Structure 1
Amino acid sequence: MSTVFDSPESAELAFYEAVERADLTAMKSVWAGTRNAVCIHPGSQPIKGEKSILQSWESIFAGGPEMHFRVQILEKTLTEDLAIHLVAEYIRLSGEAEERAPVYATNIYRRCQGGWRMVLHHASPTPERRQHTRQPIH
């Protein structure tokens, strides 16, 4: 039986805990039963469908260092059956002393028969801060 998430926040917490633990079973419970799900990892193409999304996470879990997250919610939108969270993900990799520059992510959750489920995770690196120089006006 799949885990029931009674709120988008509980599904989101489970998502980040699954990533931190590299736990594919827990990750599956977050995406379980979602139709037309999409996941976009930083710098990658959209991955569509629950099976392909879980395969991508399995690959990340098998080949990468342990990740630790501090998530800051920047914006929330909630309707009866849809929640949109814009977050800043501050990631520290195992063995690193400090967090990296934040990654912006949009997480969308839909209320399903089995509670709230993730239907979209789109993560993108923050743009580099550029020095603004004044251009001469001619």
Structure 2
Amino acid sequence: MAGDHDSVLQANTAFYRAFEKKDLEAMATIWSQGIGSLCVHPGRTALQGWEAIRQSWQQIFKNTRYLEIDIDVISVEVSGDLAYVVLVEKVLQIGQDRLEAKSMATNIFERMAGRWYLVHHHGSPVVR
């Protein structure tokens, strides 16, 4: 359905907006608070459950003065109450150093109570 497709893309955009603005409160409204949520930052091990995921974002935001993120969506698929977005992330991160990274990412959303929540984010570095 076109409506579901658009709603998933809006949820995906909200995730990257919260990421770029380093807004932990907004992240908390986007992510499922369940213990089954998973996050794999590029080059890192899997984090399971919202508390571990929240702590990872908090640490990233704490050590980052500036973030700029561009995304290039490759695919959006919706099947019932599950959806995924496959995309390329281009991240400029300035903390102590300047880091430019490109990752392939998959974001999986689950519709709960009529709203799409992020339940899985996996980023893999693209080797130049």
Give the TM-score normalised by structure 2. Answer: 0.84
Alignment RMSD (CA, Å): 2.0
Alpha-carbon distance, 1:93 to partner? 3.0
1:67 deviation in Å? 1.2
Q: CA deviation at 1:118?
A: 0.2
Determine if the alignment matches structure 1 residue 69 to structure 2 residue 80. Answer: no
* Paired position in structure 1 for 2:16: 16
Q: Percentage identity across aligned positions?
A: 35
Which one has the bigger strand percentage? 2
Corresponding position of 1:37: 37
Q: When the two structures are superposed, what TM-score results if normalisation uses the length of structure 1? A: 0.79
Ranges in structure 2 where 5+ consecutive residues have no aligned partner: 1-5
Point out the structure with the larger helix share.
Answer: 2
Q: Which structure: larger Rg?
A: 1
Gaps in structure 1 of 5+ consecutive residues: 1-5, 129-138
Tell me the alpha carbon deviations over residues 15-58 of structure 1, each in whole angstroms, 9 at most, x when there is no partner: 11111111100000011434510000011110000111011100
Q: Structure 1: how far apart are the matches of 2:112 and 2:35? A: 10
Sort the Cα spacing of 1:87 and 1:27 in 2 relative to 1 into closer, same or farther, 3 A. same
- Map residues 36-115 of structure 1 onto 2, 5 A cutoff: 36-94=36-94, 100-113=100-113, 115=115
Specify the code of the residue in structure 1 equivalent to 2:45.
Q
Q: Give the match's secondary structure for 1:100.
A: strand
The separation in 2 between residues aligned to 1:22 and 1:64, in whole angstroms, is 8
Task: Write out the 4+ residue segments of structure 1 that deviate beyond 6 Å after TM superposition.
Answer: none
Partner of 2:117: 117
The size of the alignment, in residue pairs, is 120
> Is 1:126 matched up with 2:114?
no
Q: Tell me if the contact between 2:35 and 2:48 (Cα under 8 Å) persists in the aligned partners.
A: no
